[in-house]
Every structure is written in C-alpha cells, then in structure tokens.
C-alpha cells in the first residue's frame, strides 16, 4: 500500500508493539504529528512540557516495562533537548527510540531555521543513530533501530527524519524477517572451558560474594541468580541499579554496596576471596580506590558487553554473554557449599552497624529523610514502584526502601541526572498502570522538570510525588561540609511554595513537618485519583551515612557517629 513517510513511522511503531510515545511537536516533525490523527486508539501520544521530559518518560517506561520506550521531537532545539535523556539511557543500558524531525534534505547543511546536526551531536550518547534521506529506507531503518536498541547491551537509538522524507510516499509492506546485521552479533553463551573455570572458582571459594547489577534485570535472570545464591549458599550485594534484582528481604541479601552502600556490604567485598560480578560494570562509585579493591579476591565477571570485561577491574574469568543463558549453563554444575562461618561474619558486621538505627530515634520536632523513606516503605508495604531524582534522597531511598521485586526502583545511576524523577515516574505509570508509583525527589532536582506537572494533570496520571525539601542542594552541601570546610557556595536554595504550586495545577497536595504526619500523608495521596504532591520539610544539615570519599578505599567509610543516634 502507498503510505507517506510519516504514516510509515507510525505503522512501524505499532508493529513493534509501541502503545504510547512521549513528545512535543514542531515544524520539522509536523507531518508525523498530522498523521497521528489516522491512528487514534492504536498509539497514544503524551504531550510533554519539555523534550527532556519526553526522553525521561520513555526511559522510565522502558525500565518499568522491559519494552522499548519511544520519544519524539522536532529538529534543532527540540532534538537537542533530548540529549540529556539519551545520555541517561545510554549510561544505564535502557532501550529507547528517539525520533526527530529534520529540515528538508536539500536544506541540510545550509544553517536552515531550527537545523542542528543531531546525528553528530548524539553520536556519543546513543548506541547508534541514523539520518534517513530516502523514504524507501525508512521502514527497514526503524526495524533495525528497534533491533539494536533491545538486543545485546540495550541502549538508545536515534532516527533523524527530514521533513520531505516524512511527506514523500512509497509502497509499504511490513517485513517480519528477523534483522541480521553484519558485524553486530552479540555473544550470548559461554564456552565449556569458561563454565568449567567459573565452577571451579565457585567451589574453591571460602568467602564468595555475588555482586548483583542492572544486567540481571535487563536479561531477566532473577531466578537464575537466586538459584546460584541458594544452591551455593553465597551472600548477595547489589549495585544501585541492581536493587530489586535479588530480594532484599532474602536471608542471603547483604544490601547495597559502594559509596553510600551498607558497611557490611563493603567490608564483605574487601574481605572476600571470590567476587562473582553479574551484569555490572565495576563503576567507580562501587569500587572506590581500584588499587585496594577486593585485594584478596579472585574475580568472575559475566557481562553482555565485552568492552566492560577487564576495563576497570582485571578478572580471572571473564565471560561475555547473556547472563540468563550463561547462568543456565553454570547452574547444573554447582554443588551445595557450607559458608556458615562467612555468613556469620557478615552478620556480625551488620549487627555492629549503627547507621540505620536513626529510623528508631526520636527526633523531637525534627523530620529527617531517613524516617520519611522508611515510613514510606512501611506504609506502602514495600510494594510501590519508586522513581528517584539524584542526590541525598536517592541514596536514602536505596538504603531505607528495601525492594523485593525487580523493576521497582528506577533511578539515574551512571549519569546522575537531576530532573529524572518526575517525568520517569510518569513514564513508569504508563508502563504499569495498575502499580502504585511514587516519585521521590529533592527540592533541587524537582524544579528542573517540574513543568511536567502539567503533563501529569493533562493525562490524569496517578503518580504520587514526594518532595524531600531541605532548602539546599543536599548532596553538594554534604560534600561542602565534609571536604570544603563548610563553605556552602551556591547550595542554599530559594524555593517556591510547593503546595501552592501544586494547587495552581489543580493537584491535591499536603505539607508534612513531623513524623506523625507521614502515615496520614500517604493515605491522602492514595485517596486521590491522578497526581498528588506531598512536601516533606526535612532537616537541612543531615548527612547520608556511610560515605566512601571519592577515590578512597572501599572499607574506609565515614560512619555515623554513635552519639547522634
């Protein structure tokens, strides 16, 4: 059948299973928006208030659903506004498709109105990108883009489509043939020799520990990781993005590792004789000083991306492959092991940790973030999808909201993008409409994308927004207190009245200043259909403990002084 390029874009999206996309119209993408009128009921478009919000919504949708998220924007500033979201998705291996309009092919390179070389701009922040100059190439390009986005190590792919290509017509017939790309053949399984080497190290180890990363979620290897841990009796620690990939209430769970990880997790890594790294990349926030990282440990690294193996940490057995498939190769060879002495040692470290006692401390008329997050976990029974911004509240969520299920803690890990929380939560709610979704944000990051309150209202998205307001850029202030002699330059913030701001949008809202109001605030949020906003006014000078200073040894943590709690 004869279709325009704009119609082909929408036909391809529908055939790829896309049900919703997030975007903002403009001149160069207008033919595609005009074609949307023919596809009502087949694909839903969400009008954002800023294109950055569209990329974060697509990201949140992808993380929560496991499907590819889609965002769409016009040329020039519309396309460049997607860049932060694309970089966020790339760093965290999230499958996103970005479709951008471009000036007509004859105008490319003339500095035409709203022209930007978006493929050039986005090369460093996408897994791959395309400039489509012929309508005859459009359908296969879109199909290829989805294949690249969702296979191997997932990531964002951008498709730039000039306006005249959107207007041109051609014969369209969907091709169901699987995509085959020369030079792009992700390795999925391990060799027999690699399996044998890994099994031998696991059976020889006296103090092993599993490092559970985001790759577990991306490959769907939840049961396989649990089987490995339970059969071999191996404790499990999670990266920030690995939270939920192994149930945090499980007896073998040691909690989060790294800069703001639990003390027992970091001590265990430093004392282990075997690290089993599953779908993680040894990020600097996880390792601390590489020269002193896990000095006694042999290392097994299973990772889909071959460039990550031996990149930061040299390993004894590096296996490039799909984690679920590789673990299924390993598991039949794993025998039960007795690691009770090792587990008891970790348990002693946990019992000696004073940081988390703060949730039981009577703070008088003060409200602190730890207690807000812990009570949110308590009254949601740990069942909500939480989506954070970046900062102190993010680390507090990671510490005080244990997750039992995968894909229920969404956050910007690698890029650390402030402003991620609210739009990503909107995307997550579209992905999981029956789930309870909370955006947990700071007063700083919230104001970067608070324009998306309008999107939430227009779409009547049932997402609850919890602002932890300390009147500061909290994590930067913490660093200034610890390492810059309390010179609080450019961190105190003037904030609007968040409750009145919400009321201006017609959003039910509430301000909380004491702990005994937290349960009421959660009931309040749950009682309303559509977006709600709760402002928690917390202490400005509280610190996230423990903390490994940048570049320090992983075990040399700054701990909460016992007299404080």
Assign domain 355-564 to its CATH superfamily. Answer: Thiamin diphosphate (ThDP)-binding fold, Pyr/PP domains (3.40.50.970)
Instruction: Calculate the alpha carbon distances from 480 to 80, 378, 418, 485, 490 in Å.
Output: 32, 32, 19, 6, 10
For the chain, percent of residues with pLDDT exceeding 90: 96
pTM here? 0.97
Catalytic residue among 113, 458, 500, 564: 113
Catalytic residue among 114, 197, 337, 517: 114
Catalytic residue among 7, 11, 16, 51: 51
329 catalytic, yes or no?
Answer: no
Query: Residue 101, class by beta-carbon neighbours within 10 Å (0-12 exposed, 13-18 middle, 19+ buried)?
Result: buried
258-288: pLDDT as tens digits: 999 999 999 999 999 999 999 999 999 999 9
Q: What pLDDT score does 357 carry?
A: 84
420 catalytic, yes or no?
Answer: no
Give the DSSP H/E element, type plus range, for residue 85. helix 83-91
List, in sequence order, every beta strand (DSSP E) within 287-432.
298-303, 317-320, 385-388, 409-410
Instruction: Calculate the alpha carbon distances from 153 to 84, 120, 215, 224 in Å.
Output: 19, 22, 8, 19
**Structural domain boundaries in the chain:** 2-171, 192-351, 355-564
100-129: pLDDT as tens digits: 999 999 999 999 999 999 999 999 999 999
329-363: pLDDT as tens digits: 999 999 999 999 999 999 999 987 767 888 888 88
485 catalytic, yes or no?
Answer: no
Catalytic residue among 16, 115, 127, 163: 163
Q: Residue 287 and residue 272: Cα distance in Å, rounded?
A: 14
- What is the rounded average pLDDT of the residues 372-391? 97
113 catalytic, yes or no?
Answer: yes
N- to C-terminal Cα distance for the chain? Answer: 71
Catalytic residue among 21, 257, 450, 475: 475
Decide whether 2-171 matches 355-564 in CATH topology. Answer: yes
- What is the CATH number assigned to the segment(s) 2-171? 3.40.50.970
For residues 96, 97, 98, 100, the Cα torsion angle rounded to the nearest 10 degrees is: 180
475 catalytic, yes or no?
Answer: yes
**CATH assignment of 192-351, given 3.40.50.1220, 2.40.70.10, 3.40.50.2300, 2.40.50.700?**
3.40.50.1220
Q: For residue 261, what are the contacts with CB-CB under 8 A and spacing of at least 6?
A: 237, 255, 546
| pLDDT band for position 563 (cuts 50, 70, 90) | low
Q: Cβ(435)–Cβ(280) under 8 Å?
A: no
């Amino acid at each position: 059948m004869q279709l325009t390029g704009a119609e082909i874009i929408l036909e391809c999206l529908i055939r790829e299973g896309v049900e919703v996309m997030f975007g903002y119209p403009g001149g160069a993408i207008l033919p595609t928006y005009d074609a949307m009128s023919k596809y009502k009921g087949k694909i839903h478009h969400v009008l954002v208030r800023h294109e950055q919000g569209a990329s974060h919504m697509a990201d949140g949708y992808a993380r929560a659903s496991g499907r590819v998220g889609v965002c769409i924007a016009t040329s020039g500033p519309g396309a460049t506004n997607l860049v932060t979201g694309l970089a966020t998705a790339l760093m965290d291996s999230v499958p996103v498709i970005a479709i951008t309009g471009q000036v007509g092919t004859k105008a490319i390179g003339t500095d035409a109105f709203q022209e930007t070389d978006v493929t050039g701009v986005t090369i460093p922040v996408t897994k791959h990108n395309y400039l489509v100059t012929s309508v005859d190439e459009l359908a296969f390009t879109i199909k290829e883009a989805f294949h690249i986005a969702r296979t191997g190590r997932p990531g964002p792919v951008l498709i730039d489509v000039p306006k005249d290509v959107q207007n041109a017509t051609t014969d369209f017939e969907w091709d169901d043939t699987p995509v085959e790309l020369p030079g792009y053949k992700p390795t999925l399984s391990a060799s027999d020799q690699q399996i044998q080497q890994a099994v031998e190290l696991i059976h020889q180890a006296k103090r092993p520990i599993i490092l559970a990363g985001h790759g577990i979620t991306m490959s769907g290897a939840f049961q396989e990781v649990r089987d490995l841990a339970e059969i071999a009796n191996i404790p499990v620690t999670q990266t920030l993005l690995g939270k939920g990939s192994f149930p945090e209430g499980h007896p073998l769970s040691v909690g989060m590792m790294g800069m703001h990880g639990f003390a027992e997790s970091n001590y265990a890594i430093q004392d282990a004789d075997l690290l089993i790294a599953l779908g993680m990349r040894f990020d600097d926030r996880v390792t601390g000083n590489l020269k002193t990282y896990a000095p006694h440990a042999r290392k097994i690294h299973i990772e889909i991306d071959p460039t990550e193996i031996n990149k930061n940490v040299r390993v004894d057995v590096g296996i490039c492959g799909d984690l679920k498939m590789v673990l299924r190769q390993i598991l039949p060879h794993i025998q039960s092991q007795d690691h009770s002495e090792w587990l008891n040692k970790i348990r002693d470290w946990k019992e000696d940790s004073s940081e988390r006692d703060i949730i039981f401390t009577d703070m008088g008329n003060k409200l602190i973030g730890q207690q807000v997050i812990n009570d949110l976990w308590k009254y949601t029974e740990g069942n909500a999808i939480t989506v954070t911004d970046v900062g102190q509240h993010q680390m507090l969520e990671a510490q005080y909201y244990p997750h039992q299920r995968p894909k229920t803690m969404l956050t910007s890990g690698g890029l650390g993008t402030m402003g991620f929380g609210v739009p990503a939560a909107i995307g997550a709610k579209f992905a999981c409409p029956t789930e309870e979704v909370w955006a947990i944000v700071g007063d700083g990051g919230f104001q970067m994308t608070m324009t998306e309150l309008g999107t939430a209202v227009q779409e009547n998205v049932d997402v609850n927004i919890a602002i932890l307001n300390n009147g500061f850029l909290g994590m930067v202030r913490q660093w200034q207190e610890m390492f810059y002699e309390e010179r609080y330059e450019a961190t105190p913030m003037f904030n609007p009245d968040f409750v009145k701001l919400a009321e201006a949008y017609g959003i039910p809202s509430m301000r909380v200043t004491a702990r005994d109001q937290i349960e009421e605030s959660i009931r309040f949020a749950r009682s309303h259909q559509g977006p709600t906003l709760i402002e928690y006014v917390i202490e400005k000078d509280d610190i996230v403990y423990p903390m490994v200073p940048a570049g320090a040894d992983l075990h040399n943590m700054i701990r909460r002084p016992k007299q404080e709690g």
